[in-house]
Structure 1
Amino acid sequence: MNSPILSYLSSYGIDPAYIMIGLLVLILILFILYIRTLCRMKKFYRAYDRFMRGKDMESMEDTMLKQFDRLEALEASDEKKEKQISEIFENLQIVYQKTGLVKYDAFREMSGKLSYALALLDKNSNGFMVNSMYSREGCYSYVKEIIKGESYITLSEEEQEALKMAIESNGDIVSDK
């Protein structure tokens, strides 16, 4: 075989056999990709055939209309859920979210720390303080209003600690004094 292209390549030191092998490898890769594409097309055609089987234009139109109806129903449901979520979020702004609880022995005469001061506050640190003091004669409970983290009535040491705990954290923290 006396080809001017092969002669030209061999004059630069390029062996034509390498080029032939490279072209064969390229043809093999292209052949594999072609077979893979054919398999995918066959799979796609099967899915298309299954979708279209037994359908004429009227039944296809009914199917499309049903899907549009479902889509509209989903959009309406989504709007309803968003409205409910926003209402829940608004309600969460005023519920009691912060708590502080301090258990203590009110009169230092009985063990067990049966007295407690409980602060319940909302997001803006508004709420109330419950102080329940237990003694041998009975149990006494007091409620004090808390506005923006402060009380207009003087707070005991335990009540101040419970209020501080409620303002600083959102957890159910119990302190024993």
Structure 2
Amino acid sequence: MENILLFVEEYTIPIIIGCAIMNIVIVVLLAINYALTSSLKDKYRKLVKGTSGKNIEGILMEHMENVESVKEELQSIYRKLDIIDNKISFCVQKVGIIRYNAFQDTGSDLSFSIALLDDNNDGIILTGIHGRAESISYAKPIKKGVSNYSLSVEELQALERAKCNLLDHTDVQGSRSKREVG
């Protein structure tokens, strides 16, 4: 025991300095530990906010069920959107119109030819011929951009304008995003 007391007496200052350094290191580690646990506590509080004390496993399971439900609903919406897109391809999307004076003895461009085509260039050409005594209207079917009936110059011009003129639905609806769900 005397040896121990002699050792402590002889090395008192280095022992005190060593203990002080160890205390400083412990205080630093304690501060780091406090900061980390405080950050985790904040994250935990955000996670369980509004859950009235549920455990984390229950909260995570509830969130996972919500995510799966949203995924299923989104897939259903995308299926409906695909059906609508398919139907839209058969709607009038391309329009070409020509106004002209069919007869020299009439006053202005009251005659017209209008081509109404869908996405597949199927549709009709409507023509209205205006004369002094009468007006005549008729329609000619168009299949894949071609008519089985002979077309006048004005009807051909209207058809070509329609083929080049795709109505841009994104102006009204905004750009569409990809339909992928992870």
TM-score by length of 1: 0.64
Report the counterpart of residue 39 of structure 2 in structure 1. Answer: 44
Quote how far apart the aligned CAs of 1:123 are. Answer: 2.1
* Greater relative contact order structure (CA < 8 Å, 6+ sep): 1
- Tell me, yes or no, if structure 1 residue 165 matches structure 2 residue 161: yes
Structure 2 vs 1, CA of residues 61 and 78 (structure 1 numbering), >3 Å: closer, same or farther? Answer: same
Q: Which moved more, 1:107-116 or 1:142-151?
A: 107-116
Instruction: Pick from 99, 103, 120 the counterpart of residue 99 of structure 2.
Output: 103
Cα deviation code 1:77-108 (max 9, x no counterpart): 11111101211221122222211100111212
Q: Distance in 2 between matches of 1:56 and 1:150?
A: 68
Q: How does 1:71-150 map to 2 (within 5 A)?
A: 71-150=67-146
Structure 2 vs 1, CA of residues 84 and 40 (structure 1 numbering), >3 Å: closer, same or farther? Answer: farther
Structure 2 vs 1, CA of residues 110 and 41 (structure 1 numbering), >3 Å: closer, same or farther? Answer: farther
One-letter amino acid matched to 1:130: L
Report the counterpart of residue 53 of structure 2 in structure 1. Answer: 55
- Which stretches of structure 1, 4 residues or more, deviate above 6 A after TM superposition? 37-40
Structure 1 unmatched ranges of 5 or more:
1-33, 173-177
What is the aligned-residue identity percentage?
25
Instruction: Pick from 134, 145, 149 the counterpart of residue 153 of structure 1.
Output: 149
Aligned to 2:108, the other structure's residue is in SS state coil
Instruction: Pick from 49, 63, 67 the counterpart of residue 63 of structure 2.
Output: 67
Structure 2 vs 1, CA of residues 47 and 156 (structure 1 numbering), >3 Å: closer, same or farther? Answer: same
Root mean square deviation of aligned Cα: 2.9
Quote how far apart the aligned CAs of 1:168 are. Answer: 2.8
Aligned to 1:68, the other structure's residue is in SS state helix
Quote how far apart the aligned CAs of 1:162 are. Answer: 0.6
One-letter amino acid matched to 2:115: A
One-letter amino acid matched to 1:117: S
Q: Distance in 1 between matches of 2:66 and 2:138?
A: 57
Q: Distance in 2 between matches of 1:145 and 1:84?
A: 30
